Structure 1
Amino acid sequence: MIDTIVAPPEPSAPTRQRRARKGPVTYLVRLLVVAYLFLLVAWPVSLVVTHTFENGLDALRTLFEDPDIVHAMRLTVVAAVVATVINTVFGVSVSLLLVRTEFPGKRVLSALLDLPLAISPIVVGLALVLVYGGRGGWFGPTLESWGLQIIFSTPGIILATAFVALPLVIREVVPVLGEVGIEQEQAAQSLGANGWQTFWRITLPGIRWAIVYGVVLTLARSLGEFGAVKVVSGNILGETRTATLAVEESYLNFNQEGAYAIAFLLASVSVACIIVVSILRARAAGH
């Protein structure tokens, strides 16, 4: 028996055009992009890693032996987790409001939600001080008379952290809600399901991956917040100093080894969040 040799199919016209377009300019652009990313991201981060482990694990070991640094990292984690929970609940609620309802001022509300990405975190911190500060703040004196201090305490740090990461869950969930549509929700309601049952059994499964992406990005953003937190926290050692503030203080006090170690931990969490998002996106695409 003579085997039949099947010739490979001819590439399509668009494929041939793309191959033809690859020339010196294409490779030059690729080289510039790689060089830009290397100089701006890869090289600086790699220097943090190499400086952290210059003396082995001594820097990390010393870091966890300092109670003030441990407190700063614990406070950062608490503020980031609480802010992420707040933004997740608020983000899903606002996303449903924007996609499922029509009301006057909808576009204005949607634009305002992007405000934390458009203004400086320092301005955010100052605005929170003007609203919740104990001296001259709109609500600060009243809240303090009730025994609740916002500025220069943990609640202020959580507020600032939640504010700067506010749009991330919303901007992940809104497009997915628009793609899912309302047909399945209407069918469930026609069969007797109430609003809560429809949300848990129909809406939430359809947007779960978008929520996960938003939560991971919000957590990464919250862990690295510096400007707004510096204004509202007061940077009190052992009380309101967060990990990002500890990096600045350690470096300015000529404790570069400690600054590198804290920065390495924060960068590691951010990189882990990016990896998690990439894996989840691939898994969601596979489904």
Structure 2
Amino acid sequence: MVEVSLPVKWLLRVLAIGYVFFLVAWPVSTIIREAFADGAGTLGDVLSDPQVQRALALTVQIALQAVAINLVFGVAISILLVRYEFPGKRVLSALIDLPMSVSPVVVGLSLLLVYNGRDGWFGTFLEEWGLKIIFSGPGMIMATCFVALPLVIREVVPVLQEIGDEQEQAATSLGASWRQTFWRITLPSIKWAVVYGVVLSLARSLGEFGAVKIVSGNVLNQTQTATLLVEEKYQSFEQSSAYTVSFVLAFVSVLCIVVVSILRPKEKH
């Protein structure tokens, strides 16, 4: 470890704290201040609006379904990447990081081009079978799944690599099935990585805007999520409602992360 002088340590601390303050803390605190500018009663008034209630309910519904899907596939893909060797493994690993490097708007547009009922590649075929993807719930769930997919995998993969597979091989050699090995050996070893990945995925899903805006159509009381409602309220000069809904979304996301961070066991050195 490189030794640095005390003034340099304090300078680095000030720079780090200042960076986080001006980039995160100050803007978020401004949202909180504006949300309660007219008193705490504003929160209740805004949340009693049927339009806000429907937007928040839809947001939670979409986020929970996306998180559930990402949980199943995220754990499965993590085990596949760590425990098995197969052609195209590096390509799959690179594709998993694609949502982190591609704009959500591009994701939404891609889904629109593939699944749009009028001129999409599969849209007409699916609608003939009664499946409408774009401008409905399935398209919104797909978009949300895409942008949040890496969060579960990138939490679970390092833990799987760290714990190794010795216990799993021992269980298998003693006659345990793959189900027994997974539920009794693998899952308990990665449970906190899974939980933290799910929480991060939930927070990301609740705040998704770009991809969902394109595939949802932003139809009032039907496909309008909370983030789309914030945009509409702000552009309609209803800043109080926009700030309040933004505060609710941010509060739920931060609360989930804080609770998991408190409950998560500290690592032993």
TM-score category by the smaller chain?
A: over 0.9
Equivalent in the alignment of 2:30: 47
- Structure 1 residue 72 corresponds to structure 2 residue 77: no
1:286 positional shift: 5.5
Please give the TM-score of this superposition, normalised by the length of structure 2: 0.96
1:181 corresponds to which letter in structure 2?
Answer: G
Equivalent in the alignment of 1:119: 102
Equivalent in the alignment of 1:158: 141
Equivalent in the alignment of 1:202: 185
- Structure 1 residue 190 corresponds to structure 2 residue 173: yes
1:57 positional shift: 2.3
- Structure 1 residue 90 corresponds to structure 2 residue 73: yes
- Percent identical pairs in the alignment equals 63
1:159-184 CA distance string (max 9 Å, x none) = 11010001111111111111111111
Distance 2:224 2:257 in 1: 26
Distance 1:24 1:194 in 2: 58
1:45-89 CA distance string (max 9 Å, x none) = 111111111222232122222111111000000000000000000
- Structure 1 residue 256 corresponds to structure 2 residue 234: no
Equivalent in the alignment of 2:154: 171
1:269 positional shift: 1.2
SS of the equivalent of 2:267 reads helix
Distance 2:240 2:112 in 1: 33
**Conservation of the 8 A alpha-carbon contact between 1:72 and 1:246:** yes
Q: Which protein is bigger by CA-based radius of gyration? A: 1
1:28 positional shift: 2.5
- Where do 5+ consecutive residues of structure 2 fail to align? none
**Conservation of the 8 A alpha-carbon contact between 1:172 and 1:211:** yes
- Structure 1 residue 225 corresponds to structure 2 residue 191: no
**Conservation of the 8 A alpha-carbon contact between 1:131 and 1:137:** yes
Distance 2:73 2:123 in 1: 24
* Stretch deviating more after TM superposition (54-63 or 131-140): 54-63
SS of the equivalent of 2:121 reads coil
Distance 2:6 2:72 in 1: 50
**Conservation of the 8 A alpha-carbon contact between 1:161 and 1:229:** yes
- 2:115 counterpart (132, 136, 139): 132
1:33 positional shift: 2.0
Please give the TM-score of this superposition, normalised by the length of structure 1: 0.90
2:192 corresponds to which letter in structure 1?
Answer: W
SS of the equivalent of 1:270 reads helix
